[in-house]
Amino acid sequence: MTMILVDIQGIKKYYGARAELLAKEQASVKAVDGVSLQVYSGETLGLVGESGCGKSTLARLIMRLDLPTAGRIFFEGEDIFKLSGKDLKGYRRKVQIIFQDPYASLNPRRTAGSTIGEPLLINQMYDREGRALETARIMDIVGLTKEQKDRYPHEFSGGQRQRIGIARAIILKPQLIVADEPVSALDVSIQAQILNLLKELQKEFNLTYIFISHDLSVVRHVSDRIAVMHFGRIVELAENRELYEHPLHPYTVELLSAVPAPDPGRKKERVIREREIAGATNGQGKCPFHPRCPVRVEVCEKDEPELIDRGGGHFVACHGGA
Amino acid sequence: MGMLLEIKNLSTHFHTDFGVIKAVDRVDLSIDEGDTLGVVGESGCGKTVLALSIMRLIPSPPGKIVSGNVFFNGVDLLSLDSAEMRKIRGKDISMVFQEPMTSLNPVLRIGDQITEIIALHLGLGQKEAMARAMEMLSLVGMPSPGTAIRNYPHQMSGGMRQRVMIAMALCCGPKLMLADEPTTALDVTIQAQILELIGRLKHDIGTSVILITHDLGVIAEAAEHVAVMYTGQIVEYASVENLFATPLHPYTVGLMESIPKMDAPWGRDVHLKVIPGAVPSLDDLPKGCTFQDRCAHKMQICREEEPQLKEYMPKHRVHCWLYEK
């Protein structure tokens, strides 16, 4: 599990910035602001953060649905932003995405079978009969019956629609699946079914997941390693158990303390502070978290902390003693 | 403490092309003064329709409250005419909705939206109403109320908008506040702040709260009593301690087991327990118990006869044949 599958190097995505030379400098939203990250083959990397922290933008960049302002992403050693033509099509075969909202991400005028089988058609794989067989096989794997192939999305429940989305994502036997809040729109009892399915599929097909969620207990359940994002940057990255037992960054501590525990006997001590007005337009040269940080020191206002290994692969971007 | 709200045998049905949907089906429920009652269930279980029925806000047609009583301080809300109900709604009973963006008027300033209610119910003049609005906004922790009253909803973040909603709900000193998924659209750190705020205000003002949510974590944090709903019915009712210590209904047990917990063992091969299948469609419910097709303890009688909500342990009621003696 040590082979690097995805290598993200200093990736940045600013929205609203002028691209032209000599253009007047103007405020831009730094959705992703210098993220470097390696994803190992076969692992599940959890990506957590609150709305607006840039986690979905990062997903779009990895999918090559968006081009970065700066930085590079390598997949199996190849720069994905330099791919074109056949190579790009090949990349899109190896990397798939599962979206949050199974209601909005399926074409309402296509049957389940046609949505699931379309990637095969696009990539000219199998003949008509073979495609039908393969579609039926994948539907069975994700827990749909083959009789359901002629039904339309509105005839399915939320959980079944997400199964359709998952079937479409795995039919090309991808190496990497980016799951962007795959269970957030689902009911509690259905969430568990989908999380179990994703784990089973990972084992069966040796998949690598980038699992994006705002829900820390869901991320804890599925991930091998977890990266915490805040204002477009990764502030902490560690092995699952290490992060939850020894969080180092004050923002991670705050997030963990905010999760309501389903246990009325244990009302936790909270460390929530009022948060600044959203919008990561602040300039360089200081820690974006410092205005509400309990452990800030003088240097936090002068210098932006780097993401540094504090030992055993536990990275944190914080000047504090921690 | 006295009983503030007592719901008896309440049924709200919707008449559709596919038949009658029993969104709320013979619900009995009560809430004491100063109590927080959590109502938990999955989408479509009828928890929002229950709240709207109490508020008499069911769109009719297609909806109709077909039976029951809702006694509020001894008065049956269902017997009031709409003018009398309007005097109670927003004043004695108020509601906070899930989506603060769509429940605020986008073209009115925050101050105008709050003073409208105050002027209507308390008969205060413009100046006094504005002062009261400022007071409410600082009570809910708005950083600069003077600026906030001049703002439009789009100028605020989700958490701030939800604070405005709560300020509006509390500005006339209601005896009961219905909060329908008040934190679902918010980030966890903001959610924690809002829950803390509701708890503090309840303590300070003495308002009773009905907290509707799908999140058992939120229930455990904020509620004192809990009603679990499934297909329009209350399937279990208990104090929050008893519900989490000894859940009785197989659905409640299943819900609790299916959520990933922060202190559970972790590993590649750790799978969550699941409730098989999905919630049955309300226009096609099975005969007998509506949970039978997903239940591991299904018996012959579950297919034939519907169980009743009965007290099994002191103050712990369950709607299941397993506990019938």
- What is the tens place of the pLDDT at every residue in B24-81? 999 999 999 989 999 999 888 999 999 999 999 998 888 999 999 999 999 999 999 9
Does residue B165 carry a pLDDT above 60? yes
Nearest chain B residue to A241, by CA: B266
| Helix intervals (H) in chain B | 47-54, 82-88, 100-103, 110-122, 126-139, 145-148, 158-170, 188-205, 216-222, 240-245, 250-258, 300-304
What is the distance of C-alpha B198 from the center of its chain?
13
Q: Give the pLDDT of residue A281.
A: 43
Give strand pairing partners of B36: B209
Which residue is listed with tokens 């359901």?
A: A148
d(CA B87, CA B80): 10
Distance to chain B for A192, nearest Cα, Å: 6
Mean pLDDT calculated for residue range B166-191: 87
d(CA B250, CA B245): 14
Domain boundaries of chain A, sorted by first residue: 4-316
Give strand pairing partners of A60: none
d(CA A116, CA B12): 40
CB A303 within 8 A of CB A319: yes
Does residue A85 carry a pLDDT above 50? yes
Nearest chain A residue to B262, by CA: A217
Mean pLDDT calculated for residue range B250-261: 93
| Helix intervals (H) in B143-249 | 145-148, 158-170, 188-205, 216-222, 240-245
Q: How confident is the model at residue A278 (pLDDT cuts 50, 70, 90)?
A: very low
The residues, ordered by sequence, that sit 6+ positions from B218 with a Cβ below 8 Å of its Cβ are: A260, B38, B183, B191, B195, B211
Tally of CB atoms within 10 A around A203: 10
Q: Please identify among residues 221-280 of chain A the ones whose CB lies closer than 8 Å to any CB of chain B.
A: 221, 224, 240-241, 244, 254-265, 267, 270, 272, 274-275, 277-278
CB A251 within 8 A of CB A295: no
Nearest chain A residue to B294, by CA: A189
Does residue A277 carry a pLDDT above 60? no
Give strand pairing partners of B39: B212, B227
Of A64, A58, A44, the residue nearest A211 (C-alpha): A44
Q: How confident is the model at residue A279 (pLDDT cuts 50, 70, 90)?
A: very low
| CB hemisphere CA count around B301 (13 angstroms) | 9
CB contact under 8 A, B278 and A195: no
Mean pLDDT calculated for residue range B74-100: 91
CB B16 within 8 A of CB B224: no
Q: Give the pLDDT of residue B97.
A: 86
Tell me the pLDDT of chain B averaged across its residues: 90
Q: What is the ipTM of this complex?
A: 0.82
Of A198, A184, A192, A186, the residue nearest A159 (C-alpha): A186
CATH classification for the domain delimited by A4-316, as one of 3.90.850.10, 3.40.50.300, 1.10.357.10, 3.40.50.2000: 3.40.50.300
| pLDDT tens digits, A36-45 | 999 999 999 9
CB B244 within 8 A of CB B254: no
Chain A residues touching B256 at Cβ < 8 A: 262
Mean pLDDT calculated for residue range B303-321: 93
What is the number of CB-based contacts under 8 A between chain A and chain B? 127
| pLDDT tens digits, A100-128 | 877 788 999 999 999 999 999 999 999 99
Give strand pairing partners of A74: A7, A79
The residues, ordered by sequence, that sit 6+ positions from B255 with a Cβ below 8 Å of its Cβ are: A188, A189, B40, B216, B228, B275
Q: Give the pLDDT of residue A283.
A: 55
Of A220, A226, A227, A159, the residue nearest A194 (C-alpha): A159
**CATH class of the structural domain B3-92+172-323:** alpha beta
Q: How confident is the model at residue A17 (pLDDT cuts 50, 70, 90)?
A: low
Chain B residues touching A263 at Cβ < 8 A: 220, 244
Q: Which of A116-125, A264-273, B157-166, B220-229 has the lowest mean pLDDT?
A: A264-273
Nearest chain A residue to B244, by CA: A263
Tell me whether A195 touches chain B (CB under 8 Å): yes
Q: Please identify among residues 40-79 of chain A the ones whose CB lies closer than 8 Å to any CB of chain B.
A: 50-51
Q: How confident is the model at residue B321 (pLDDT cuts 50, 70, 90)?
A: very high
Higher pLDDT, residue A202 or B198: A202
Q: Give the pLDDT of residue A284.
A: 64
Chain B residues touching A243 at Cβ < 8 A: none
The b/e string for A209-236 (b: 16+ C-beta within 10 A; e otherwise) is: bbbbbbbbbbbbbbbbbbbbbbbbbbbb
Chain B residues touching A160 at Cβ < 8 A: 278
Task: Identify the three-state secondary structure at position B271.
Answer: coil
**Burial class of residue A123 (count of CB atoms within 10 Å of its CB; 0-12, 13-18, 19+):** middle
Q: Give the pLDDT of residue A122.
A: 92
- Structure-token pair, residue A273: 């502070």
Domain boundaries of chain B, sorted by first residue: 3-92+172-323
Contacts 24+ apart (CB under 8 A), A304-308: A307/A36, A307/A233, A307/A234, A307/A235, A307/A237
Task: Identify the three-state secondary structure at position A182.
Answer: coil
Does residue B232 carry a pLDDT above 70? yes
CB contact under 8 A, B260 and A255: no
- Structure-token pair, residue B150: 């001049």
